[in-house]
Structure 1
């Protein structure tokens, strides 16, 4: 009890100090407390209607915490493994399990929360919130002429993003670590200053993001590595045209995919398309009777995947429609998708008219490729619309940052002092 009290007092003090710093963000500081309150409200709702997955996390986290208290050395030896054994309790996973990783995180957080679900949910929500706000602050300070309010909307106000990144969800750590990775890469690529601690912080954020969903993380890391390559070439005096920047990014991603395929057969085209088809078929079987996507002609070949990619990306961004599904949640998700379509249309018109925004082209290109690749992958592997709406939170806030950069969106956001 004493340890928990000390840890929580230290956390409250640290958050208080951070809030004071965040509120000094030019123009946007006024939004720190309202968005934090919204985050904590969503956390309370998610804990009130605790999901089956969240309950599972808590039960096993308590068992790991028991081991931590009684045999800390054994707990430490368990951390890098995919197995947990304690008394009559046994939990075994294969591969990179984000479920087991999250349980390990919660078992450590139990030192402060004493197993309280609400406190654990608040810890994860605050992590996601602080990482997202650091991205807001960085964009505002680095590119004042851009629209940093887009990050506030995308990460901290967009309904499904707020809900799924609050409480005892994998997305809390996934999206928070993704925002932190992007913020630190921007610092290293575009800002001067001390780099040693930035590199260490980036490595920690990279490990966390990889642990939470490794396949999607690889796509983000590849795109940001392409951004880094472009910046290096620019420092050497090249890559001034957009065509050259796009070619550099494409070359790095293509080369990386080839190297990955040589290292592990998991990343080879035939293995990848077969696994994609298998995931789609397995999830389709359990989606009968509920709103879902169907691709009758999808085959486990590269050609078929490429041909279905535009439809898959469109489905990921637009489904469910407001009239699909009988529950209120489906209707709300459909209305949110209409708002996303409006943002997509406005961004397209602005791009055609040369009013797309002030962010560097290389950064926009890297994030856009990341969003499109994930939209295709999710659209092809996740036929259940409810699950799809949750999983797309992985990239949706990054896409919203891009869509709300244009002059039309910036004018609208300024009316709300964003």
Structure 2
């Protein structure tokens, strides 16, 4: 019965990909989107298998610990639909003794440490609990749901890219759908599919602002994108603020130099790094990141993490700039191929090999961005730098770095492909032209 249920939902989502107007992407056949969905399902099963056979403690593996807590919420239906709804929404839950009995059975609804952003454990637990009535508690059905959710977000990103890079649509499809890290972490029963949904809706909305195409009917999707980012990975939204503000400022003053307008919010951020502590203690970014780094070290020590990195300390505001090159190295170049110490590093290590090849081809066939491609390039460059520094300076666990950089990897490869002269590349490698024509 469980297998049949998975097939039914996979077929429904496949039908939507083939028929829903949203999945009509310029220059990309729907069959490629369907193949991407099938590939995501395979990676979703792979992630579940790894956490079943190699990381067998369900209380520590993300994919099962949140799923198991969601099952507890679903079981509360036996005591009434109202109990289930209170646990699902949190509204009126604390006043209901029956609901609180179920709440106290859950082990990951609350965190043992505090942080500046929303507790995203609650997001994925309650999201899984929302799916439970449809899945009947079957884990593999959840894989189908989350793969489809992430497909929506990734397709939203691709729709923007193919419009402004029409001659590089295959490269952009690769950057969005075929990166191993995005396939692996973005296809499981985890927080990442919701993050990708939020990122896609937000990116599409902000680009509509940048190109003067935003309409009132686009507001809902844009606002939902912000909400999904806030309730999953708030730090991603924080890292996108300078780029978003820069695009809006450049749009507001179209007759001024684009890079000057785009750079102003980044200059403001840089000034806040140094002057923030003098204005308000809460604006002491160095101290906040130092505390966050220490919290990560403590959690890693408690869990006996085998992939601990030695990061330079963040004692002064100047350290944020001095440590930035090392942070970018940690975020985007680790793990090295010889660091394949466990299954979860293999996708990232393979990806890094692809990264070096792509960088080499870009430098050999370099072409600067121009025209309508510039805003996308600028947004991606800012996201890659800000988020790369944020992750690389704070996160001392290699496994966590691999996972946290997942959303911004898309923009890293978009930048590389945007700077690559595809005409020159095809002249140097005629076989590429023949292969691309077949696609």
Contact 1:261 1:267 in 2 (8 A): yes
Aligned residue in 2 for 1:104 = 126
Q: 1:398 aligns with which of 404, 411, 414?
A: 411
Partner of 2:351: 336
Equivalent position of 1:230 in the other structure: 250
Residue number among 356, 373, 393 corresponding to 1:380 in the alignment: 393
How far apart are the structure 2 equivalents of 1:82 and 1:348? 59
Deviation at 1:184, TM superposition (A): 2.3
Distance 2:370 2:299 in 1: 39
1:174 counterpart SS class: helix
Q: 1:269 to 1:144 in 2, by over 3 A?
A: closer
Q: Quote the offset at 1:82 in angstroms.
A: 12
- Is 1:157 matched with 2:156? no
- 1:8-407 alignment runs, 5 A limit: 13=12, 16-20=15-19, 21=21, 24-29=24-29, 30-50=31-51, 52-67=61-76, 70-78=79-87, 79=89, 85-90=99-104, 91=106, 93=110, 96-140=118-162, 142-145=163-166, 147-190=168-211, 192=213, 195-234=215-254, 238-239=255-256, 241-251=257-267, 253=269, 265-279=281-295, 281-282=297-298, 285=301, 290-295=306-311, 297-327=312-342, 330=345, 333-348=348-363, 353-356=366-369, 359-407=372-420
Secondary structure in 2 aligned to 1:398? Answer: helix
Conserved? CA contact 1:58–1:106, under 8 Å? yes
> Contact (CA 8 Å) 2:40, 2:147: kept in 1 or not?
yes
- Count the aligned residue pairs: 406
Write the deviation string for residues 93-150 of structure 1: whole angstroms up to 9, x where unpaired.
266211111101111111211111011121011110122123222332x325452333
Indicate conservation of the 8 Å contact 2:331/2:391, yes or no: yes
Q: Deviations over 1:317-342 (max 9, x none)?
A: 11111112444654553332122123
> Which secondary structure does the structure 2 equivalent of 1:323 belong to?
helix
Tell me how far 1:371 sits from its aligned partner.
Answer: 1.4
Residue-by-residue CA offset, 1:19-74 (whole Å, 9 max, x unaligned): 23467534321421221111111122222333622211121111212335644445
Do the aligned partners of residues 358 and 247 (structure 1) sit closer, same or farther apart at CA in structure 2, a change above 3 Å counting?
closer
The secondary structure found in structure 2 opposite 1:86 is: helix
TM-score, normalized by length of structure 1?
A: 0.83
Alpha carbons 1:320, 1:334 under 8 Å: kept: yes
Distance 1:11 1:331 in 2: 27
1:314 is displaced (CA, Å) by: 1.3
RMSD: 3.6
Unaligned runs of 5+ residues in structure 2 are: 56-60, 427-431
Q: Give the Cα–Cα distance (whole angstroms) in 2 for the partners of residues 328 and 357 of structure 1.
A: 41
CA distance in 2: counterparts of 1:277 and 1:384, whole angstroms: 10
Instruction: Name the CA shift for 1:177/1:146 in 2 (closer, same or farther; >3 Å).
Output: farther
Q: CA deviation at 1:88?
A: 5.0
Structure 1 residue runs of 5 or longer lacking an equivalent are: none
Paired with 1:396 and 1:312, the residues of 2 have a C-alpha distance of 15
Q: CA deviation at 1:245?
A: 2.8
- Post-superposition offset of 1:76: 4.3
| C-alpha contact (below 8 Å) 2:286/2:314 kept by paired residues | no
SS at structure 1 position matched to 2:339: coil
Question: Distance between the aligned counterparts of 1:39 and 1:307, measured in 2?
Answer: 39
Deviation at residue 219 of structure 1 after TM alignment: 1.6
Q: Do the aligned partners of residues 38 and 229 (structure 1) sit closer, same or farther apart at CA in structure 2, a change above 3 Å counting?
A: same
TM-score, length basis structure 2: 0.79
